[in-house]
Amino acid sequence: MIEVRDLRVSYGGRLVADVPELDVGEGECVAIVGESGSGKSTTLLSLLGLTPDAEISGHIRVCGVDVLTAPPRRLREIRGARVALVMQSPQAALSPATRLGVLMRRALKLHGVGNGSAGGSAEVMEEAVAAVMLDPGILTRYPHEISGGQAQRFAIALAIALGAEVILADEPTSALDVTVQAEVVGVLRRLREERGLALLLVSHDLALVSTIADRVLVMKDGAVVESGPAARVLAEPRHPYTRELLEAVLSVPGGTP
């Protein structure tokens, strides 16, 4: 679903992300971990051609589209539809004066989902909302009437309704309470298993990543310092920086039963 080779993203001559290789297959979850300024978000945004002021070289293929050479029309076909972007604060992206149902219907129409008929889209919408364990009543609400966790799940529901095959998520749970985070992570995991969604996750939370990712890329100052299967990287880190990150993870006594 995602294939990246020799990606180099620079701003004004300064290299901010250098990713030699990044692949995400169907039903796979790959995580990019790193601290502020490591280039992890830039890498994610570049996959949808959302780094307009940057100098980019290399090769990016997402859902069969060559992102760096495709005409804008081709990019619009994958952005928001086949590839969804889930950000840290979805509420900021929801129009405050629009009910969530109206917002979702507009998005469906824009992307030509649900045959354009009201009945067809209502069905798609309810199914999508149920897939993220939200009550259909949420569609009549305004953004300020829902919580952060609900907003994040709504953002994911929007992706499902639009038929997303890939979800790019940038710190999707770091603004949420831990109990709510657990729910959102649960939703993402189920969508992966049941629908074969590919998930590329950007996070600073190594512990969280270790529980859901198949593979991990560790970035520091724009470079990938280590990558490999999550279990290996986290159990036998080879790069000193990965070790430093792991040592900084604070533990909480008592195990999950």
Residues in contact with other proteins by the rule CB under 8 A = 35-36, 147-150, 177-183, 185-186, 189, 204-208, 210-212, 231, 234-235, 244-257
CA-CA-CA-CA torsion for 146, 148, 154, 156, nearest 10 degrees? 180
If the CB atoms of residues 47 and 184 are measured against other proteins, the closer one turns out to be 184
Which residue from 252, 229, 249 is spatially nearest to 35, judged by alpha carbons? 249
Quote the least distance from Cβ 72 to other proteins, whole Å. Answer: 36
Quote the least distance from Cβ 255 to other proteins, whole Å. Answer: 7
Quote the least distance from Cβ 24 to other proteins, whole Å. Answer: 19
Quote the least distance from Cβ 134 to other proteins, whole Å. Answer: 10
**Side-by-side strand order, sheet with 166-170:** 65-66, 55-62, 2-11, 14-24, 223-229, 215-220, 29-33, 198-203, 166-170, 83-86
If the CB atoms of residues 39 and 148 are measured against other proteins, the closer one turns out to be 148
If the CB atoms of residues 65 and 94 are measured against other proteins, the closer one turns out to be 94
If the CB atoms of residues 52 and 254 are measured against other proteins, the closer one turns out to be 254
Distances (CA, A) of 153 to 90, 95, 180, 181, 186: 9, 16, 10, 10, 11
Quote the least distance from Cβ 239 to other proteins, whole Å. Answer: 14
If the CB atoms of residues 67 and 134 are measured against other proteins, the closer one turns out to be 134
Tell me the chain's radius of gyration from C-alpha atoms: 18
Neighbouring C-beta atoms of residue 235, cutoff 10 Å: 10
